[in-house]
């Protein structure tokens, strides 16, 4: 399972996000925030995480 940092890095490479293109700074930040939300809402399996911490 990837960490959030690894997941974001992987998604940036996949989407070819030019993170240092300051003309698209606001758009890039929005994209990264979506990556973070996707990581916590979809990538991590909430049921497995709940079981892991209940043990």
pLDDT at 46 over 90: no
pLDDT at 53 over 90: no
Nearest CA to 7 out of 28, 47, 46, 34 is that of 34
pLDDT at 19 over 70: yes
Residue 54: pLDDT band (50, 70, 90) is low
Nearest CA to 33 out of 13, 12, 3 is that of 12
The two tokens of residue 28 are 């890039």
Average pLDDT over residues 28-40: 95
Is 34:4 a contact under the CB 8 Å cutoff?
A: no
> pTM to 2 decimals?
0.76
Quote the DSSP letter at residue 42.
I
Where do the H-state alpha helices sit in the chain?
A: 4-15, 25-38, 46-54
């Amino acid at each position: 399972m990837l960490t959030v940092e690894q997941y974001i890095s992987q998604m940036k490479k996949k989407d070819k996000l030019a993170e240092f293109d300051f003309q698209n700074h606001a758009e890039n930040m929005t994209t990264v925030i979506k990556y973070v939300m996707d990581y916590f809402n979809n990538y991590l399996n909430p049921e497995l995480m709940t079981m892991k911490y209940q043990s």
